[in-house]
Chain A
Amino acid sequence: MSDLPIVIENGAAHVTLDLRVYRLTAIKKAAYTIAAQCTVALGAQDGHCQHLTFLAKAGATERSLLEASRVFFQELLDQDLREQISEETSAVRTLVLAHAFSKTDLIRRT
């Protein structure tokens, strides 16, 4: 039996995620990344809960559905971490780019 917080019913896997733990943008990015393995449908939000349905490809087994959801959760952690890094390094990234192009005439100063 899977130790993931999912329920498998009628050939689909159902998960509810806490938006206080995972950002919605990270959830969407993770869903996008694993699209080749399965389709992740986002349901309506209920307070801080986001319902997801993992829809397997035709002919897929319960095992492959569980594997796809496992990959999704790994990817979700990575995507969430990427968003944190993006926020943390935003100022430095802007500084590096501004410094890089500071000697060009591409920016009009008024």
Chain B
Amino acid sequence: MNNGDPGHTRPLPMADLEHLDDPGLVAALCGGNGAALAEVYRRYGGAVWAVAQRVCRRPDLAEEVCQVVFTDLWSHPDRYDPERGTLRAWLVTRGRGRAVDAVRSEASRRRREDREARLAPAGAGVSADVEAAVDTAGLGDAVRRALAGLPGHQREAVMLTYFGGHTFREAARMLGAPEGTVKSRIRLALGTLRRELVAEGLAP
């Protein structure tokens, strides 16, 4: 079916779109099949929304993130490479990245406004950020169990970076740990989480 030549992709009946695997669906997108984008949204819209909502913690920002992810996919479906993983994982990665950018832009805008209004920045700073990022509320039960099963340092490292949007250097400062150690903790955490979530049937 995927003869590798997007110029020859024909429109497919919707019933066939549902049975396409991810690469086939993206090939249909490359051929300009609008129904294929709807099918991608049907499959993975909830996943993109979930990560955007989690990172942004604001529906308006999360919505904007989702719109960007899907419009980008429509404009540049060739950016997805099946060798790099599933379409779901790719879209969630894009969503998480956009969400972190959105939160940072929003925070900058607010700080500018606060400075302009001559409001003193709240002293919440580092510790509030750690707490908010490490909070597992809102995640699925099995996911929370898997995260709770991690050593605290590993959980903090992965959540501060992935959900909190911090670089490993920032995380190292926030946690008072060496930079190399933070990276190792992230690696160990991902390994443990993977085993747990695959056992739960939540990850492929």
User: Are A and B genuine complex partners?
Assistant: no
